[in-house]
């Protein structure tokens, strides 16, 4: 394959990719379908922001946020069914079970571990020793700006953690498991080795949760923007949206079977962070995964970083195997 | 549930699902021969069924029609007389039979005509079945750990005077946070509600750091997996039958 030159690199030499928004297919179907899948993303984002901005204090609660989050994800699952981006990414029962297993781990075991040794502990320790007065400048900011900063700080940290995972072997080992997925679906973001899920969750964005309403608004960015990173839905995302936000197009390139493409689009919510650091490529890919699209079993997903790490250590530091004598 | 099938012999030399030469108990039908009592529970991850074939259809013709299903990545199969044995290793998500790790398809002669009998093994079904008790276990673990959880100061590893200082700092931080923050003039102008002073013991606020881990999510996921298992056990059985039927009957009609 010849590949396509993007800046200093050539991508798509190992697997087919599409580069450039003008080459990406549009939503097919009648005017109603086109209208829905063109305006769904911005409408939901602004509707949710408006809801949390104006909701009375009796409604602006975490439990309502959890309810909305679940409802929205079920709605997105429905959209995947109605308007898939690729038929080859269609959700199957086995994929759903695997995805939900990891979502479940995130809500139970990982959350439990996090409360002892993760970012929760880290942030709590910092908050105890920080003088409240010194943070008045932040809590006095407009709510939407506070929300944006909470997400941006978290996303900025996550960008570098993610980029580090693709550039430093010890971090790549746990992250590599996530790159064995062969299709994108709404819950695929949760699939990965638990060590990686713990690492990627580290961040101090949650440090700025002093104003509950700002925190709920920040959660909206995660829900109404971040959720589209792994989704099998064809949208006609507006130009400004795909300039600012990470989309499933961007993220499919990141998961492509083409190695050079995977070294792009590292951010979680704001793709402009990638644009700032020169790692953004606008495009999409259908063929995803590693090793030609081999799907890892759950057992291998759990053990792979350790077995691979051990193999590498043995190769590097182990005794060389005895030479086979010539006959 | 479909009627059980007498398992075909001989089996392929390499047991299904074996990744390192060792037999996998979940997908190895020999396992059922060694432990007949397991048949009582084998329905959890074993799917058996049959499909009547057109009277004139030979087993060779039938297997030729089914062959594309077994030409997927990570799948190998073997045909011996009237029996086709297959096994899959890391099938792609796009493989229509990816839920099954192995199986035996056999064509038997009956007075009414040839019949395809199949016996498919799915570790994914077993996995899903076991997820409900696993998450119930997580719920129990959360409850147990909650009971033994020490006060925050001790957990944080502070003792004596250091513990007192930490406690004071934590209380001050909480008190500071509890004070309502005045709205920015822009937010006032736009009509955002004024924040209220949080009530003591109000747990329903965003962020989870100050909350005790709850067993509720684990119970919810246990329920989801129980439902998913029932759905999957029925759905995958039907989908497999429909897939065979499509290959064997529809193609012939076309």
**Residues in chain B closer than 8 A to A100 (CB atoms):** 221, 224-225, 228
Q: Which residues of chain B have pLDDT under 50?
A: 1-27, 152-153, 155-156, 208, 252-254
Q: How far is Cα B102 from Cα B14, in angstroms, rounded to an integer? A: 11
* Closest chain B residue to the Cα of A218, Cα to Cα: B206
Class in CATH terms, B29-123+232-253: alpha beta
Question: Are B232 and A120 in contact (CB < 8 Å)?
Answer: no
Per-residue pLDDT, B31: 63
For the segment A266-276, what is each residue's pLDDT rounded down to a tens digit? Answer: 999 999 999 99
User: What is the pLDDT at residue A206?
Assistant: 55
Q: State the CB neighbour count (10 A cutoff) for residue A277.
A: 13
pLDDT of residue B101: 94
User: Do A193 and A148 contact (CB within 8 A), yes or no?
Assistant: no
Report how many domains make up chain A.
1
Considering only the beta carbons, identify the residue of A60, A108, A182 that sits closest to B218.
A108
Q: Which residues of A186-224 are buried (b: 16+ CB within 10 A; e: fewer)?
A: bbbbbbbbbbbbbbbbebebbbbbbbbbbbbbbbbbbbb
Token readout for B192 is 């955002």
Q: Is A321 a member of any domain?
A: no
A44 and A245 in contact (C-beta within 8 Å)?
A: no
User: What's the token pair of residue A245?
Assistant: 């936000």
Count the neighbouring beta carbons within 10 Å of the beta carbon of residue A46.
12
Give the model confidence (pLDDT) of A286-298 as tens digits. 999 998 888 899 9
Minimal CA–CA distance to A108: which of B226, B134, B91? B134
Which position has the token pair 């199986």?
B103
| Residue A127 lies inside a defined structural domain of this protein | yes
Residue A320 lies in a domain: no
Q: What is the pLDDT of residue A112?
A: 79
Please report the DSSP string for A168-235 in residue order.
SHHHHHHHHGGGG--S--TTGGG-S-HHHHHHHT--SGGGG-SSHHHHHHHHHHHHHTGGGGG-----
Of A98, A103, A206, the CB nearest to B207: A206
- B94 Cα to chain A: minimum distance (Å): 6
What is the rounded average pLDDT of the residues A46-71? 93
Contact B228, A93 (CB under 8 A): yes
Give tens-digit pLDDT for A106-143.
889 888 777 776 666 666 666 666 666 677 788 889 99
Burial B129-141 (b: 16+ CB within 10 A, else e): bebbebbbebbeb
Look at residue A47 in the predicted model and tell me its pLDDT.
97
Q: In the prediction, which pLDDT does B224 show?
A: 97
State how beta strands B46-52 and B75-80 pair: unpaired
- pTM, two decimals, is 0.84
Q: Is the alpha carbon torsion for A174, B100, B69, B93 positive or negative?
A: negative
Residue A120: predicted pLDDT: 64
B59 three-class SS = helix
Domain ranges across chain B = 29-123+232-253, 129-193+212-223
- Which pLDDT value is given to residue B30? 58
- What is the per-residue pLDDT for B35? 72
What CA–CA distance (Å, rounded) separates A212 from A283? Answer: 37
A317 part of a folded domain: no
Tell me the average pLDDT across A156-166.
Answer: 93
Any A CB within 8 A of B149 CB: no
The answer to whether the CB atoms of B225 and A100 lie below 8 A apart is yes
d(CA A26, CA A218): 30
pLDDT recorded at residue B23 = 39
Six-digit token string for B145: 């750990």
Q: What is the DSSP letter of B140?
A: H
d(CA B178, CA A280): 42
Nearest chain B residue (CA) to A139: B181
Report the pLDDT value the prediction gives residue B59, as an integer from 0 to 100.
Answer: 87
Distance separating alpha carbons of residues A306 and A173, to the nearest angstrom: 8
> Quick one: pLDDT at residue B13?
35
Domain extent for A203: 4-312
| pLDDT attached to residue B1 | 36
Nearest one of B142, B8, B30, B27 to B82, comparing CA atoms: B8
- C-beta of residue B93 within 8 angstroms of C-beta of residue A182: yes
List the single best residue of B139, B178, B181 to mutate versus A (max A Cβ within 10 A): B181
In tens, the pLDDT along A211-259 reads: 788 889 999 998 999 999 999 999 999 999 999 999 999 999 999 999 9
What is the residue-wise DSSP string for B14-38?
SPTT-SSSSPPTTT-HHHHHH-GGG
B74 to chain A, closest Cα gap in Å: 8
User: CA separation (Å) from A247 to A240, B44, B248?
Assistant: 12, 40, 42
- Distance, in Å, from the CA atom of B42 to the CA atom of B121, rounded to the nearest integer, reads 9
A98 lies in a domain?
Answer: yes
Is the preceding peptide bond at B10 cis, omega within 30 degrees of 0?
yes
């Amino acid at each position: 394959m010849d590949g396509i030159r993007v800046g200093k690199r050539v991508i798509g030499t190992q697997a087919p990719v599409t580069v450039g928004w003008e080459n990406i297919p549009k939503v097919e179907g009648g005017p109603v379908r086109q209208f829905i899948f063109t305006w769904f993303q911005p409408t939901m984002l602004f509707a949710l922001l408006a809801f949390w901005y104006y909701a009375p204090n009796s409604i602006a609660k975490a439990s309502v946020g959890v309810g909305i989050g679940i409802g929205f994800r079920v709605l997105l699952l429905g959209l995947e069914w109605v308007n898939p981006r690729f038929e080859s990414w269609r959700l199957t029962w086995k994929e759903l079970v695997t995805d939900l297993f990891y979502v479940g781990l995130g809500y139970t075991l990982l959350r439990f571990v996090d409360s002892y040794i993760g970012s929760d502990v880290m942030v709590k320790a910092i908050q105890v020793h920080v003088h409240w007065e010194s943070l008045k400048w932040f809590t006095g900011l407009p709510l939407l700006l506070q929300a944006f900063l909470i997400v941006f700080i978290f996303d900025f940290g996550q960008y570098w953690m993610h980029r580090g995972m693709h550039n430093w072997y010890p971090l790549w080992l746990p992250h590599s498991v996530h790159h064995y997925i062969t299709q994108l679906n709404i819950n695929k973001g949760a699939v990965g080795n638990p060590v990686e899920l713990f690492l990627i969750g580290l961040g101090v964005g949650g440090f700025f949760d002093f104003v509950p309403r700002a925190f709920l608004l920040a959660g909206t960015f995660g829900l109404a923007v971040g959720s589209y990173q792994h989704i099998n839905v064809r949208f006609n995302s507006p130009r400004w949206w795909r300039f600012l936000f990470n989309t499933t197009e961007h993220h499919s390139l990141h998961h492509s079977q083409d190695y050079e493409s995977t070294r792009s689009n590292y951010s979680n919510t704001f793709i402009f962070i990638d644009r700032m650091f020169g790692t953004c490529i606008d495009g999409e890919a259908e063929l995803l995964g590693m090793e030609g699209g081999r799907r890892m079993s759950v057992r291998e997903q759990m053990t792979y970083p350790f077995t691979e790490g051990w193999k590498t250590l043995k190769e590097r530091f182990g005794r060389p195997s005895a030479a086979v004598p010539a006959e | 549930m479909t009627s059980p099938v007498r398992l075909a012999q001989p089996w392929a030399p390499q047991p299904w699902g074996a990744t390192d030469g060792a037999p996998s108990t979940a997908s190895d039908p020999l396992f059922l021969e060694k432990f007949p009592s397991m048949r009582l529970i084998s329905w959890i991850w074993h799917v058996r069924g049959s499909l009547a074939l057109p009277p004139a259809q030979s087993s060779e013709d039938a297997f030729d029609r089914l062959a594309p299903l077994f030409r997927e990545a990570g799948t190998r199969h073997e045909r011996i007389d009237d029996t086709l044995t297959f096994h899959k290793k890391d099938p792609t998500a796009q493989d229509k039979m990816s839920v099954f790790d192995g199986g035996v398809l056999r064509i038997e002669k009956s007075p009414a005509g040839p019949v395809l009998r199949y016996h498919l093994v799915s570790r994914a079904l077993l996995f899903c079945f076991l997820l409900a008790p696993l998450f119930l276990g997580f719920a129990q673990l959360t409850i147990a750990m909650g009971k033994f959880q020490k006060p925050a100061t001790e957990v944080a590893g502070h003792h004596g005077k250091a513990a007192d200082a930490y406690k004071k700092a934590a209380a001050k931080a909480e008190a500071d946070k509890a004070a309502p923050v005045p709205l920015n003039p822009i937010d006032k102008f736009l009509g955002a509600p004024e924040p209220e002073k949080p009530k003591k013991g109000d747990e329903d606020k965003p962020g989870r750091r100050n909350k005790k881990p709850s067993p509720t999510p684990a119970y919810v996921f246990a329920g989801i997996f129980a439902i998913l298992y029932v759905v999957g056990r029925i759905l995958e059985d039907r989908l497999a039958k429909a897939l065979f039927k499509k290959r064997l009957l529809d193609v012939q009609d076309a």
